[in-house]
Amino acid sequence: MIDVAAHNRTAWNRESASGEGEWSQPVDPQVIERARAGEVTVILTPNQPVPADWFGELAGADVLGLASGGGQQVPVLSAAGAQVTSFDNSDEQLARDKEVARRDGLKIRFEQGDMMDLSRFEPESFDLIFNPVSTIFVPDVERVWKEARRVLRPGGRLLTGVMNPAFYMFDHDAIEAGAEPVVNFALPFDDTRNLDRESLDKRMASEEHLEFSHTLDSLIGGLLRSGFVLRDFYEDDWSDEATPLNKYMKVSFAMLAEAV
Q: Please tell me the least confidently modeled range out of 127-136, 139-148, 192-201, 221-230.
A: 192-201
Q: Is the peptide bond before 188 cis (omega within 30 degrees of 0)?
A: yes
Whether the pLDDT of residue 1 is over 90: the answer is: no
What are 142-180's pLDDT values in tens digits?
Answer: 999 999 999 999 999 999 999 999 999 998 888 888 888
Q: Name the residue range of residue 93's domain.
A: 4-164+215-259
Task: Report yes or no on 64 lying in a domain.
Answer: yes
Task: Report yes or no on 27 lying in a domain.
Answer: yes
| pLDDT reported for residue 42 | 98
Whether the pLDDT of residue 80 is over 90: the answer is: yes
Task: Report yes or no on 178 lying in a domain.
Answer: no
Task: Report yes or no on 173 lying in a domain.
Answer: no
Please give the single-letter amino acid code of residue 206: S
| pLDDT reported for residue 176 | 82
CATH of the domain at 121: 3.40.50.150
Q: Are 163 and 97 in contact (CB under 8 A)?
A: no
Task: Report yes or no on 187 lying in a domain.
Answer: no
Over residues 125-144, the mean pLDDT reads 98
What does pLDDT average to over the chain? Answer: 96
Task: Report yes or no on 233 lying in a domain.
Answer: yes
| pLDDT reported for residue 39 | 97
In a 3-state reduction of DSSP, which class is residue 170? strand
Kindly list the distances between the CA atom of residue 137 and the CA atoms of 4, 67, 80, 209, in Å, as whole numbers in the listed order.
Answer: 8, 10, 28, 7
- Could you tell me which residues come within 8 angstroms of residue 193 by beta carbon, excluding any fewer than 6 positions away? none
| CA 172/CA 174 separation, integer angstroms | 5
Q: Please tell me the least confidently modeled range out of 20-24, 58-62, 161-165.
A: 20-24
In which band, very low, low, confident or very high, does the pLDDT at 223 lie, cut at 50, 70 and 90? very high
Identify the CA nearest to 161 among candidates 248, 68, 76, 90.
68
Whether the pLDDT of residue 90 is over 90: the answer is: yes
Task: Report yes or no on 69 lying in a domain.
Answer: yes
| pLDDT reported for residue 179 | 87
What are 175-186's pLDDT values in tens digits?
Answer: 888 888 899 999
| pLDDT reported for residue 180 | 87
What are 198-213's pLDDT values in tens digits?
Answer: 989 999 999 999 999 9
Task: Report yes or no on 77 lying in a domain.
Answer: yes
What are 232-258's pLDDT values in tens digits?
Answer: 999 999 999 899 899 899 999 999 999
pTM for the full model? Answer: 0.96
Whether the pLDDT of residue 189 is over 90: the answer is: yes
Identify the CA nearest to 70 among candidates 134, 145, 163, 136.
134
Over residues 75-86, the mean pLDDT reads 98
Domain count, the chain: 1
Cα 118 to its chain centre, rounded Å, is 15
What are 31-45's pLDDT values in tens digits?
Answer: 999 999 999 999 999
Q: Where are the beta strands (DSSP E) in the chain?
A: 62-66, 83-88, 108-112, 126-131, 152-163, 228-236, 252-259
Between the two ends of the chain, the Cα-to-Cα distance in Å is 37
Indicate the DSSP class of residue 248.
T
**β-pair partners for 128:** 63, 157
Cα 97 to its chain centre, rounded Å, is 15
